[in-house]
Amino acid sequence: MLCEGPGGCLVFEGAKLRVIHAEEAGFPAFYRVVWRDHAAEFSDLDAANRTLCMEAVAVVEQCVREHLKPTKINLAALGNMVAHLHWHVIARFADDSHFPGSVWAPVQRERNAAQEADIAARLPALEAAMIERLGNRSF
């Protein structure tokens, strides 16, 4: 993994997109699928690229679900701050600091350091699976 400073660490780089493990306090399994070419909005991609992009999101989601069994996956492409297409794929747990609110909503409870450490310990295997599955396709 190449770490890119505060933004996170590169997990996978393909011809069309890359996957980053984001550093977001309280959410140890927070990934971003970033489209390589400039596109501000999802519908700026053509239909084939939209499908490709969302299949990468689905692979990331599936790996997170299989390895972490989160309460819920949250997907979002907002881009209000950085208008370059990127998808957030976030594992949410019933006792995380913001659940059931969004990660952008007000905090609901204290962070659970033990749970976060447990999740973090499982990320290397999760990311190895992600790299393998993403690498088997033309992303």
Binding site for its own copies (CB under 8 A): 40-43, 47, 50-51, 54-55, 57-58, 61-62, 65, 71-81, 83, 92, 99-102, 104-106
CA distance 1 to 7: 13
Minimum distance from CB of 73 to its own copies (Å)?
A: 5
Decide whether 42 or 112 has the Cβ nearer to its own copies: 42
Minimum distance from CB of 9 to its own copies (Å)?
A: 23
128: helix, coil or strand? helix
Minimum distance from CB of 78 to its own copies (Å)?
A: 5
Decide whether 67 or 92 has the Cβ nearer to its own copies: 92
CA distance 124 to 32: 16
Decide whether 10 or 77 has the Cβ nearer to its own copies: 77
CA distance 94 to 135: 32
Non-local CB neighbours of 133 within 8 Å, separated by 6+ positions: 59, 62, 63
Minimum distance from CB of 65 to its own copies (Å)?
A: 7
CA distance 85 to 75: 13
